[in-house]
Amino acid sequence: MPRPRKQVSRQADIPGDADAPELDDIDAGDADRPSKSALKRQAHELQRLGDALIALRPERLAAMPIDEALRDAIELARRIRAREGLRRQRQLIGKLMRDADAAAIRDALEAGSAGHRAEVALARAAEDWRERLLTDATALAAFCRRFGLEADDPALARLVEQARAERAGTRSGGSYRSLYRTLLAAMRSHAAAASARQAARHPQDPSEQP
């Protein structure tokens, strides 16, 4: 009769268990350290911020509060086309993000997103005004009143007429696009002036300044 095989515990074969500290060996300082799940969430958040930086336009990236090493790594990631190479570069950016001011980057991204949404809304409004100006003879006076321009601005009136002629096919040129840029510039100037007046009426409390 064969002898029964001796059961062998395989606990020592589990990776990491041999080096894991016993509960009694963990001091009070270890108890205050972040858990593995918290560290993992933090790593994912840093990776997400890094990906957001990679997706930024160059002019917005230039305004981000990051050091040269991280900036260079992000600019390199923009140029990488191979999937595996980009994956490794994203991992590197995630590691560099550990030394970055994540809160400041997050605030800058959120502020930039709000500004981007406002700019998109302004651009769409400029397109709407251009259509109104080309189809409604009374729209020019309404636009000038709305955005603080001279009601009889001859340059703007002439540009509107030229853009109408372009659309009708009776003349060529860039007046249609120029009209959009002129309207957008006037609307931006009006918005900036309104913001300045708002800030003057409600100045920041010195105690709230950083």
Candidates 127, 150, 153, 146; CA nearest to 190 is 146
Q: Spell out the domain ranges in the chain.
A: 35-100, 118-200
Task: Give the pLDDT score at 172.
Answer: 64
Q: How far apart are CA 167 and CA 162, in angstroms?
A: 9
Tens-place pLDDT, residues 188-203? 899 888 888 887 876 6
Query: Are 119 and 149 a contacting pair, CB within 8 Å?
Result: no
What pLDDT shows up at residue 196?
84
CATH superfamily of the 35-100 domain: PSPTO4464-like domains (1.10.60.30)
Q: What is the pTM of this model?
A: 0.50
> With respect to CATH, is domain 118-200 assigned 1.10.10?
no
Q: Which of the residues in the chain have pLDDT under 70?
A: 1-33, 172, 202-210
Return the pLDDT at 28.
45
> Which tens digit of pLDDT belongs to each residue from 144-174?
999 988 877 889 999 999 999 988 887 767 8
Do 35-100 and 118-200 come out as alike in CATH topology?
Answer: yes
